[in-house]
Amino acid sequence: MGLKLGSIARRVADLGRRRSASATAASLGVLLLVGAALGNGIARTAVDVSDGLTWLGDDERGEVVQVNPSSGKPQTRLQVSGGDARLEIAQSDDKLIVLDRRTGQITVIDLATLLAGGRRQAPAGQSPKVLIVDDRIYVVDRDAGTVHNVDPVTLADVGAPWRVGRPLADVVTDDRGVVWAVDHGGNLHALEWAEDVEQFRELSNRPVPGAGPRTALVPHERGVTLLGLEGGVVVRDGTTRDLTLGTDSLSGEVLAAQTSPPGLVPASVPDAGAVVLVSDDDVVRVDMNQYGCARPGRPAVFRDRVYVPCRGAGKVVVLDRSGKRGSQDVPAPGNDPELVFDDGKLFINTPGAANGVIVDTDGRTKDVVIRSPELPVTDPDRSPIPSVPSPPPPRPDPPKNDDRRGGGDPTTTTDVPVTTTPSAGVKGVAPGRPPGVAVNQVSNDGSTVVVRVTWGVAPDSGEPVSGYSVTASGGFSGGSKTTQVAGTSADLSLSCAGGTFCASGRLDVSVVAYNASGSGEAGTASFSVRPPAVAPTTTQPRPTTTTTTPPPQPQPTTTTTPPPPSLPSAGAVVISSVGATGDMFSRIVNTAPPADWANHSGTCEVVNTTWGTSVPIACSGGSVEIYVDYGTNRIVVRAHAGGQSVDSYHRSVTVRDLETEPCGGGRICQPRSAPRAETAPMATGGLALLAAAWLLGLRNRKRPEDER
């Protein structure tokens, strides 16, 4: 079913113009029946077409919200992080990737199921960047000077990353898939992914005098524009009309458009209160103070106009190609609006605001609801609805002895052994790949790095998982370390042994599940070591002094009660994932606590606050099984000390009654293996058209020859 559904319809319509009505009806019927039989294939093809919906971030709640521009209302809320997040979203037609700059965690979400797939830990702050081009995902670490091609499902590295050996100022991709990177030394690199050798191939390396740490790149359909405003240089490269221009120097952060046509490239310099436009072959500097926009944000090009969000002013200024006012300002909810371009529409979104604004293709605006408290929150880490296994085939009747041949007692039967080939879902198969492998640094004292590796429960393929083997490799002492655990987390202590690993090392981790039948496929993750916060110091020995100790005097006996241990921070993200156990009414809770939780000297427990059940767990992390029941279960980790307690950020687990509980739109939830609701009408329509074709053919055969 490689054809798009619309293409099929057009071909059928063409058949109707060139063939008889009966043949056309028969063709339509066959296609509809094929569509019903191969419904999954058509659904997957439909994902390749834009769905007309857009995802926006709500930083205060740590949510991403799917908005329908037509209705102006939100469709879905996904809880992807804790509160007070700093979310950046990269989206395509079939996947959503969310980067939380507060924690550095990257999460990929399958838009067909709204389930979280792989996770990857990146440094917190401005260093990481995620790029989507075609079917590839690139993860950039600007401080480390690396670009990684990662698996779109697991976010694990594919092949070898590209390393430039110095920090990167910016990295983008054009629509052809070429990666453009500019380093702090002012070199502009063009890269492409070489599938045959699984590594990046450098197409060009061009030094640009004047480019440096604050240089920004704007990608086009083909090529890129480099904005080295601090050094007063503008370069257009890789397009059909390359150029190099000089301009006035501007110091400060440069916020360039995410993408633009090569003939109109905007960038803001908030510290200077200015917008710079590369309009055809000229550079225009616009003083935004004249428009009441003292701190311009990241601009966007839409319908040959430049939209500039104004920080602290609650509006968006619209400029034409010459830098003059192009139309009236667009009021924006909140003080610090941001621009999101998707599906041919421009969204004005202020993270945390209840409403936003859509700018349509004709320039008209419409309000859209973003925050809707009555819309339920979906947990992307929920367990998928299990499929219903097919019943086993009936066991054949064993042959009976033939008493006519004197073969013995006719009531005696002989069992015939049945040979089966191991396959997924039956015993004798190794486990599947552990999902969501992530690495977090626990401590670094300059001589030893301690990391915590966490992952989700691996599919057992019908035979219980015995444990997990965790292997770390890198530039630490020994180069490799392996440990085996029964749960879904492991702490590794890695010695630097006088090397540079503790300062800026790279760690590659693989996790393999095993059972009695063997080991499964490895889940992988990569991690860049953060240097110690305080360099180790050498304590000089004190000079030796001689003192005369007076004879001891009797002292009164006192008893000192040590103060209770301090509580860790409330609301921290401690639960890393919640996995299935095979029992509908229990879940495995995996934790990867931050430092203050991991070092808490009191006690900790996992609590289902909905039902009041709890299970003890080590504060340093681990996995426990907890009871859940129908409905939404709110699960937290609770720390206790000195008669007081605090709760971590919660995870929600929903258990549905598949037979009675209504889903969205008033439907009754069904297992995933149940036939799709649209399959029956499609199949019915196909049969009806086949019947019509038969009747039309019969009528034609009965019609007299002279009437034809």
Q: List the beta bridge partners of residue 129.
A: 140
Q: List the beta bridge partners of residue 578.
A: 589
Asked if the structure places residue 15 within a domain, the reply is yes
Among 528, 546, 564, where does a domain finish?
Answer: 528
For residue 658, the model assigns a pLDDT of 54
Same domain, yes or no: 522 and 467: yes
Q: What is the DSSP string of 197-252?
A: TTEEEEEEEEE-TT--TT-EEEE-SSSEEEEETTTTEEEEESSSS-EEEE-----S
**Cβ-Cβ contacts under 8 Å for 246 (sequence gap 6 or more):** 232, 233, 234
- Identify the CATH number of the domain in which residue 632 sits: 2.60.40.10
Same domain, yes or no: 449 and 506: yes
Asked if the structure places residue 546 within a domain, the reply is no
Among 470, 498, 528, where does a domain finish?
Answer: 528
**Cβ-Cβ contacts under 8 Å for 480 (sequence gap 6 or more):** 471, 472, 473
Token output for 123: 């440094």
For residue 38, the model assigns a pLDDT of 40
Asked if the structure places residue 635 within a domain, the reply is yes
Asked if the structure places residue 300 within a domain, the reply is no
Same domain, yes or no: 582 and 522: no
Same domain, yes or no: 580 and 658: yes
Domain count, the chain: 3
Same domain, yes or no: 510 and 581: no
Residue range(s) defining the domain that contains residue 8: 1-49
The verdict on pTM exceeding 0.85 is no
How far is the C-alpha of 308 from the C-alpha of 76, rounded, in Å? 28
Same domain, yes or no: 591 and 653: yes
Q: Which residues of the chain have pLDDT under 50?
A: 1-25, 27-50, 387-388, 390, 401-426, 535-540, 543-546, 661-683, 701-708
Handedness of CA 513, 199, 126, 338 (dihedral sign): negative
For residue 431, the model assigns a pLDDT of 85
How far is the C-alpha of 351 from the C-alpha of 664, rounded, in Å? 27
How far is the C-alpha of 357 from the C-alpha of 332, rounded, in Å? 7
Report which residue type is found at 655: V
**N residues, the chain:** 708
For residue 572, the model assigns a pLDDT of 82
**Average pLDDT, rounded, for the chain:** 78
Same domain, yes or no: 590 and 524: no
How far is the C-alpha of 117 from the C-alpha of 134, rounded, in Å? 19
Q: Could you give the C-alpha distances from 113 to 253, 485, 505, 584, in angstroms and in order? A: 39, 31, 36, 19
Asked if the structure places residue 210 within a domain, the reply is no
Asked if the structure places residue 194 within a domain, the reply is no
For residue 209, the model assigns a pLDDT of 95
Q: What is the DSSP string of 139-154?
A: EEETTTTEEEEE-TTT
For residue 551, the model assigns a pLDDT of 56
How far is the C-alpha of 322 from the C-alpha of 311, rounded, in Å? 22
Report which residue type is found at 363: G
Pick from 297, 295, 286, 291: nearest CA to 323: 286
Report which residue type is found at 315: K
Asked if the structure places residue 23 within a domain, the reply is yes
Asked if the structure places residue 402 within a domain, the reply is no
